[in-house]
Chain A
Amino acid sequence: MIERKLTCIVCPLGCELAVTLEENRVLEVRGNTCKRGEAYAQNECTNPKRTVTSTVMCEDGGLVSVKTDEPIPKEKIFECMEIINATTARLPIKIGDVIIKNACGSNIVATQNRSK
């Protein structure tokens, strides 16, 4: 059995979590204020994921801010950034529009409106 200390990143409270692990199986989570903290610890110890936010270049040379619709595996963050940086988006763009389909397991969607 091993103990792992984590900081929950689900909300700004940032609870300090203590996780008891056995062979990558989570036995117990302590220090969480709410249930989401427990779920976070589960995922973080087995398959850590992150939401990636960035910008995509638009056809007029301006930028539009984007995010992964779903959190993606942590080790794919830089792969995802490469896909984002190799893309040019058509205008106009509405918030929520899918800019890139399936990048590292998630769609990349616009988080800003951009007119032509």
Chain B
Amino acid sequence: MRDLVIIGGGPAGMSAAIAARESGIQDILILERDGQLGGILQQCIHNGFGLHMFGEELTGPEYAWKYEKKVNELGIEYKLNTMVLDITEDKVITATNSNDGVFQIKAKAIILAMGCRERSKGALNIAGTRPAGIYSAGTAQKYVNTFGYLPGKNVVILGSGDIGLIMARRMTLEGSKVHAVCEIMSYSGGLARNIEQCLNDFNIPLRLEHTVVEIHGKDRLEGVTIAKVDQNRKPILDTREYIPCDTLLLSVGLIPENELSKNANIKLSNITNGAVVDQDRQTSVGGIFACGNVLHVHDLVDFVSKEAEIAGKAAAEYIKSGKKQSFVIPIKTDGKIRYTVPQIITEAKDVTVYFRVSDVYKNAKIIITDGDKAILSKSKAKLAPGEMEKIMLKTEQIKNVKELHFSLEV
């Protein structure tokens, strides 16, 4: 029996482990599938990490190293090259590696920190052939930054999420020509700074309201046909345009990796695709916590680390006192606010609620109510789906509340 087992050694897993140790838990084990700690950060060699946590701009590997060093200093145990295969509701973990074979561990508490994977299937709903040369942007990032292999010379990118923007610059620096970044929406899902420094700096065109409608080429990709879309996101045929290219990168979003959570009967949200959690990041299964991209997709690693601290501390409390949830205040949203994390509150204490909106809204007012009773409102000049927002609720505001309703007045 172990006190705490953490699945995944990315920024979420490491930060949760450190917080749990600092809250007095000695017996901690991190299980990591990869050959090193750090998760996705090891391939994110660009800078832009850590401004909130460290007040300086770090690259992904540098940010990871700050935590890895701390994990080592605190003597937190971890197993690399170890893949978790299954977890159960009563917290039995099945894992495998080449030294120990397949083994089982029972834990008092578990923290899920498995990160996310890239969406790819849905995006390939495009006419034409399936030649070589089509990659998800994250896979291309791994090829270029980890293996030093450049996927192609002439590139089109579908989707303008941050990974796509970062890869547009990265491949340009390595000598490829990026002909276009196509985005089906009327705005980019990526950060404004990445449009500026990854596209505008290199005169790479961002084609808003455009999508790829056909793929050409037999064995190797030879080109794509792109087209403008109408309000219903249907391609307008006479705007079709052929672009010769040997590489198509798909950057169409990330999705939390929750196969393991399903095995443990953890209740998942069909909006975030992550677990439904309370303010401590505890899932519907007592003693199992979740944080980082496995819970909901974060664009800033700093928020991942902060969230993981909450989970790490709460898991330590759970191990020490076996704390149970005493009441449940659900947080409902109006659709304009797409989701919140946490989705429920089970203790009257100060809680920061993170949320995302479903469209771009200007001069909007966030309104929080309990039935007819106003709890809090806050005006915002601009809200966008790509940027996670947060709002702090004070203990007094939560006390005696039955339900919290988050809505947006535009």
Which A residues lie at the B interface, using CB under 8 A?
A: 6-12, 14, 16, 50-55, 57, 63, 65, 67, 74, 77-78, 81, 85, 95, 111-113
Interface size in chain B (residues, C-beta < 8 A): 29
**Once the chains bind, are A12 and B299 in contact (CB under 8 Å)?**
yes
- Separation of A87 and B88 alpha carbons in the complex (Å): 50
- The CA-CA distance from A113 to B59 in the complex, in Å, is 13
Residue B48, interface by CB 8 Å = yes
Q: List 17 A-B contacts (CB under 8 A).
A: A12-B51, A12-B193, A12-B299, A12-B300, A50-B201, A54-B173, A55-B144, A57-B148, A65-B45, A67-B45, A67-B59, A74-B201, A78-B173, A81-B173, A112-B42, A112-B65, A113-B65
- In the bound assembly, the distance between CA atoms of A50 and B65 in angstroms comes to 23
Q: Are B197 and A50 in contact (CB under 8 A)?
A: yes
How many A-B pairs fall under 8 Å by CB? 72
Question: Nearest chain-B residue to A8 (Cβ)?
Answer: B193
Chain B interface, DSSP helix/strand/loop, else mixed: helix
How distant is A93 from chain B, measured CB to nearest CB, in Å? 12
Do A63 and B146 have beta carbons less than 8 Å apart?
Answer: yes
Give bound CA distance, A14 to B387, whole Å: 11
Cα A31 to Cα B59 in complex, Å, equals: 27
- With both beta carbons as reference points, the residue of chain A lying nearest to B387 in the complex is identified as A12
- A65 near B196 with CB under 8 A, answer no
CA–CA, A50 to B48, complex, Å?
12
How far is it, in angstroms, between the C-alpha of A63 and the C-alpha of B57 when the chains are bound?
Answer: 22
Measured in the bound complex, the distance between the Cα atoms of B299 and A50 in whole Å is 22
For the complex, give the distance between the alpha carbons of A65 and B193 in Å: 22
Interface pair A53/B45, CB less than 8 Å apart? yes
| Binary per-residue interface labels of chain B (195-209) against chain A in the complex, 1 for a CB within 8 Å, 0 otherwise | 111000100000000
A63 to B42 alpha-carbon distance, docked (Å)? 12
Cα of A63 to Cα of B146 in the assembled complex, Å: 7
Q: Is the pair A53, B59 in contact by a Cβ cutoff of 8 Å?
A: yes
Q: A11 CA to B49 CA in the complex, in Å?
A: 9
Partner of A14, one of B57, B174, B191, B300: B191
Is B145 at the interface (CB under 8 A from chain A)? yes
- Closest-by-CB residue of B relative to A51 is B47
Contacts A81-B173, A111-B62, A113-B65: A55 and B191 contacting too (C-beta < 8 A)? no
Closest residue of chain B to A67 (Cβ to Cβ) is B59
Residues of A within 8 A of B193 (CB): 7-12, 14
| Complex CA distance for A52 and B198, rounded to whole angstroms | 11
A contacts with B: majority SS:
mixed
Other A-B pairs, 11, CB within 8 Å; known A57-B148, A112-B61 = A8-B193, A9-B193, A12-B51, A14-B191, A51-B47, A53-B45, A53-B47, A55-B144, A63-B145, A63-B148, A65-B145
Check B148 against A14 for contact (C-beta < 8 Å). no
Contact of A63 with B173 in the complex, beta carbons under 8 Å: no
Residues of B within 8 A of A9 (CB): 193, 196-197
Contacts of A111 in B (CB 8 A): 45, 58-59, 61-62
Q: When A7-B192, A9-B196, A12-B191 are in contact, do A67 and B147 touch as well, CB less than 8 Å?
A: no
Which chain B residues border A81 with CB–CB below 8 Å?
Answer: 173-174
Interface flags for B47-85 (1: CB within 8 Å of A; 0: not) read 110010000011101100100000000000000000000
| Inter-subunit contact A55/B299 (CB<8 Å) | no
Distance of A8 Cα from B51 Cα, bound (Å): 14
Residues of A within 8 A of B117 (CB): none
A83 to chain B, nearest CB (A): 12
Cβ B201 vs Cβ A55 within 8 A: no
Q: Does B130 contact A (CB under 8 A)?
A: no
Q: How far is the CA of A7 from the CA of B195 in the complex (A)?
A: 9
Task: Tell me if B65 and A53 are in contact (CB < 8 A).
Answer: no
| A14 to B173 Cα, complex, angstroms | 23
Residue of A whose beta carbon sits closest to that of B66? A95
Q: How far is the CB of A16 from chain B (nearest CB, A)?
A: 7
Q: How many Å from the CB of A88 to the closest CB on chain B? A: 12
User: A65 contacts B147, CB within 8 Å?
Assistant: no
B190 nearest CB across to chain A (Å): 10
Contact of A55 among B45, B57, B58, B196 (CB under 8 A): B45
Q: Give A77 to B57 CA distance when docked, in angstroms.
A: 19
Residues of A within 8 A of B46 (CB): 53
Which residue of chain B has its CB nearest to the CB of A54? B173
Whether B201 lies near A11 (C-beta < 8 A) is no
